[in-house]
Structure 1
Amino acid sequence: MRVASSTLYQQGLASMNYQQGSLLHIQQQLGTGRSILTPSDDPVGATRALGVSQAQAVNGQYATSRKQANIALAAEENALQSVTTVTQNIQTLLVQAGNGTMSDADRGSLATALEGLYNQLVGLANSDDGNGQYLFGGTRSGSAPFTQSKGPGAYIGDNGQQLLQVDVARQMPAGNTGREVFMSVTGGAGYVVKGNANNTGSATFGTVSTTNPSDPDYGLSMQVTFAANASGQMEYTITDLSAGTTPAPVVKGPIAYTSPAHIDVAGVSFNVTGDPKDGDTMTMAPASEAGTDMFANLQTVIDTLRQPTPDSSDRAHLGNVISTATRQFSNSLDNVLTVRASVGSRMNELDALDDVGSNRDLTYSQTLSGLQDLDYAKAITEYYQRQTALQGAQQSFMQIQGMNLFKYL
């Protein structure tokens, strides 16, 4: 069989190209430190490496979300710490306001001080994160959540939560709404008693205590109504306001009133002292139904302190307002502290998730290393083998090139 010179050249060239390509491939592996440069090098390994790389990228995004959540929660914690301080200062001034020896001018000064704390509270409720996003606006974080144009501290945010995906199966709220912080109470807040602003007598109520939370009527709103009987003896009757009927059904009474009277109903008790008049009323309701808005409650106190107290009924009204506000702000402080505890719990959870995420990232890196990293000893050996093969191919081609009849002419 005749072998054409062109065939010899093509075969020699193909052999050199193959060896040179193989040498270049191993050089690229040595340069990058990776054994898989293209999917064709190891289709199965390349597919697995792609899946692990994507999982590692997603894990990195979780870490970014956790960092963002931590920043938001830290800003909220700072704001709540200040809210706690302001609320405690309000409680201190409420105790001072309950001093019966204060003059109208003294109470006016207290009202001014409370107004300053009111403004501080509004400012804290409208805190932002430094980037123009309000902390307590819910999903409407682009505008101030509280405004005074629609009444004392009116909330114009929403109840939505900004959720961040901080791990594979964990979405975490990055903050709390203004309603949760400034307009709510905890589930165990108990009862709040209020006097009627239209009362004409001097009856005042004392500390409210929960005596039997398993009472079947516990949790219902009640009203204590004072009325004189036919003989002029003052009596009181307790009715169930939760029934929603007129007249409200009677729970207790009529019972003869003597000061101090110990009222015990629906698992709740408190004392009433003073001289009520015919038609005077007091209401007792679960804290969640008895005014949870910190701004409205504080405004009521400020307005009442600025009113003169020329007679006993005015002084009784002032005392009842102070007593109600004291209980309300105690409940509000408990709520703020509960929210702070929730914030701290979420920050601790983020720290734990960071540890888990770091360990997961290390596992991904180790897996990728096993799939992609180059065995340098093996690669260097192969490099010299390819280099020797290329040199052999080149020398063979030079010898074959000289095998033709023209050199003998």
Structure 2
Amino acid sequence: MRVSTQQIFQAGLSGMLQQQSTLNQLSQQLSMGNALTNPADNPTAYSQSLNLGARIANLQSYQQSNQYAQQNLQLSSSSLQSVSTLMNQVQQLAVQMNNATVNSSDLQNAITTMQGNLQQLVQLANTQNGNGQYIYGGSTTEQQPFALQGNNTVLYQGDSSQQNLQIGPSLNLPVSQAGNQVFMNIPGGNGTFSVTADSGNYGAGSGTVTLGPGAVIDQSAARNAFVAQGAEYQVSISANASGALSYTVSSGTASGSGGLTASGVVSSGAYKPGQSINIPGPGGSPMASVQAQGQPADGQTQSFTLAASKPQSLFQTFSDLIQAFQAGSGSPGANAKRAQGISNVLQNLSQAQTQILSVQAQIGSNLQEAQSVSSLNSSLTTQFQTTQSSLADISYPQVITQFQESSTALQAAQKAFVQVQGLSLFQYI
């Protein structure tokens, strides 16, 4: 077979280039620690590695969102715990002021304390996370949700939604709270009905009757009467000119100026201070009861209205306690008015504590879910990284050996090429 000089050169050059390519590929694998530098070498493994890389990146994104969600949830839980502590302090202050021995100085100090407590509550409700976002504004996280007005009322400027973050495939978790559901829409009274004293109960020389808190005996009947039918009840306690005490319970609907219209007496009897008065349901059986303390002045009637509970904000409850303290002290009527106001506040505080605990329980459940998902995502990430490593990582001893063999082969090819290109017939002439 006749071999031309061009063929000799081409064959030698092709062999050296192939060895150089192999050496270069092995060098890249050693420098990168990756066996899949060339997709054509193992298309299946390369495709699997890319898919695993995408899934790992998604999990890492979910983990970042999860971490942010946990931080917000922990901040919410911590701030609500501070709110609970503040409510306990307010409750203790209310109990301390609910006696006839306090003087005007004591009450003024209590008013100052409550004004500070109200400001602190607003500050807690306007809690911001590390990014400056408000966690109780619903989905409106850039605007301060609660604004304290000059008359001690508080306006809510957020919405009723929640900001959600995706922490896993098809799994969203709320990272903000709707502040109106936490602080504003709290059932008043005992959650079914509330007690309101008539405005004329506590004038000069008046009696000392206070009513409440109320208790529900038959929940179904009470909700049907107060909520479904909108009925209201008036409890009146009277003392005739000779001092004989009695009570009446009337039912009807509220009139525009106080009291009831279309009312009818549904229960009556003799009254003794400290007595519990039953409120009869439609069938005559007691559905609720209220405890009365004190007694009216001779010839006086003191009345109270029982109506369906309405939503009340925690801020309003704090303001109501300030108003109760402003009733003053010294006269029996002033002390009774303050006691009635404090009694209503304590019942509203109890409802608020139940509301806050419910929100804290939900936040705790969300936090537990986030931590569980985080643990699962971490385990999946480790699993995917291990699988990807088995596909892409090189065996350094094996690749180093191959690199040395390829380097030796290239050197041998270069030497052989030098010797072959030196051959010529002219050397033998």
Q: TM-score per shorter chain, which class?
A: 0.7 to 0.9
Unpaired segments ≥5 residues, structure 1: 242-246
Query: Please, what TM-score do these two structures have when normalized by structure 1?
Result: 0.85
* Structure 2 residue 212 is matched with structure 1 residue 206: yes
Q: Which residue of 2 aligns with 1:223?
A: 232
CA distance in 2, matches of 1:404, 1:130: 82
Q: Which residue of 2 aligns with 1:166?
A: 167
Q: Which residue of 1 aligns with 2:279?
A: 264
Deviations 1:299-351 (A, max 9, x none): 12212321346765554443322111110011112222232233333333333
- Decide whether the 8 Å contact of 2:135 with 2:175 is kept in 1: no
Q: Which residue of 2 aligns with 1:374?
A: 394
Give how far 1:398 is off. 3.0
* Pair 171,388 (structure 1): closer, same or farther in 2 beyond 3 Å: same
Deviations 1:207-265 (A, max 9, x none): 32222224362662542235799x99863212367xxxxx8776x73322432451234
* Pair 135,150 (structure 1): closer, same or farther in 2 beyond 3 Å: farther
Q: Which residue of 2 aligns with 1:195?
A: 196
- Decide whether the 8 Å contact of 2:218 with 2:288 is kept in 1: yes
CA distance in 1, matches of 2:251, 2:77: 43
* Pair 308,399 (structure 1): closer, same or farther in 2 beyond 3 Å: closer
**Secondary structure in 2 matching 1:208:** strand
Q: Which residue of 2 aligns with 1:335?
A: 355
CA distance in 2, matches of 1:20, 1:234: 109
Give how far 1:20 is off. 1.4
* Structure 2 residue 364 is matched with structure 1 residue 347: no
- Decide whether the 8 Å contact of 2:276 with 2:291 is kept in 1: yes
CA distance in 1, matches of 2:189, 2:329: 35
Write 1 or 2 for the structure with the bigger share of strand.
Answer: 2
Q: Which residue of 2 aligns with 1:66?
A: 66
CA distance in 1, matches of 2:190, 2:39: 65
- Decide whether the 8 Å contact of 2:237 with 2:247 is kept in 1: yes
* Pair 261,355 (structure 1): closer, same or farther in 2 beyond 3 Å: closer
- Decide whether the 8 Å contact of 1:63 with 1:166 is kept in 2: yes
CA distance in 2, matches of 1:377, 1:4: 42
The farther-off stretch of 196-205 and 118-127 is: 196-205
* Pair 228,394 (structure 1): closer, same or farther in 2 beyond 3 Å: closer
What amino acid is the match of 1:285? A
CA distance in 2, matches of 1:81, 1:105: 31
Query: Please, what TM-score do these two structures have when normalized by structure 2?
Result: 0.82
What amino acid is the match of 2:341? V
Deviations 1:249-296 (A, max 9, x none): 76x73322432451234533223353496694412324xx2x420111
Match of 1:235 among 248, 260, 272: 248
What amino acid is the match of 2:171? R
CA distance in 2, matches of 1:84, 1:20: 74
Give how far 1:92 is off. 0.8
* Pair 304,11 (structure 1): closer, same or farther in 2 beyond 3 Å: same
**Secondary structure in 1 matching 2:40:** helix
CA distance in 1, matches of 2:104, 2:72: 44
- Decide whether the 8 Å contact of 1:184 with 1:332 is kept in 2: no
- Decide whether the 8 Å contact of 2:69 with 2:165 is kept in 1: yes
* Pair 188,71 (structure 1): closer, same or farther in 2 beyond 3 Å: farther
What amino acid is the match of 2:394? L
- Decide whether the 8 Å contact of 2:233 with 2:252 is kept in 1: yes
What amino acid is the match of 2:143? S
The farther-off stretch of 195-204 and 161-170 is: 195-204
Count of paired positions: 400
Give how far 1:124 is off. 1.6
CA distance in 2, matches of 1:188, 1:309: 25
* Pair 39,295 (structure 1): closer, same or farther in 2 beyond 3 Å: same
* Pair 59,157 (structure 1): closer, same or farther in 2 beyond 3 Å: same
- Decide whether the 8 Å contact of 2:328 with 2:338 is kept in 1: no
CA distance in 1, matches of 2:364, 2:237: 55
* Structure 2 residue 306 is matched with structure 1 residue 283: yes
What amino acid is the match of 2:346? T
Match of 1:397 among 417, 425, 429: 417
CA distance in 1, matches of 2:130, 2:35: 47
- Decide whether the 8 Å contact of 2:189 with 2:344 is kept in 1: no
The farther-off stretch of 365-374 and 313-322 is: 313-322
Q: Percent identity?
A: 26
CA distance in 2, matches of 1:227, 1:187: 22
Give how far 1:195 is off. 1.5
Q: Which residue of 1 aligns with 2:339?
A: 319
Q: Which residue of 2 aligns with 1:97?
A: 97
- Decide whether the 8 Å contact of 1:104 with 1:306 is kept in 2: no
- Decide whether the 8 Å contact of 1:191 with 1:208 is kept in 2: no
The farther-off stretch of 262-271 and 65-74 is: 262-271
- Decide whether the 8 Å contact of 1:30 with 1:376 is kept in 2: yes
Q: Which residue of 2 aligns with 1:180?
A: 181
The farther-off stretch of 213-222 and 184-193 is: 184-193
* Pair 323,188 (structure 1): closer, same or farther in 2 beyond 3 Å: closer
The farther-off stretch of 117-126 and 213-222 is: 213-222
The farther-off stretch of 86-95 and 399-408 is: 399-408
- Decide whether the 8 Å contact of 1:197 with 1:317 is kept in 2: no
The farther-off stretch of 178-187 and 295-304 is: 178-187
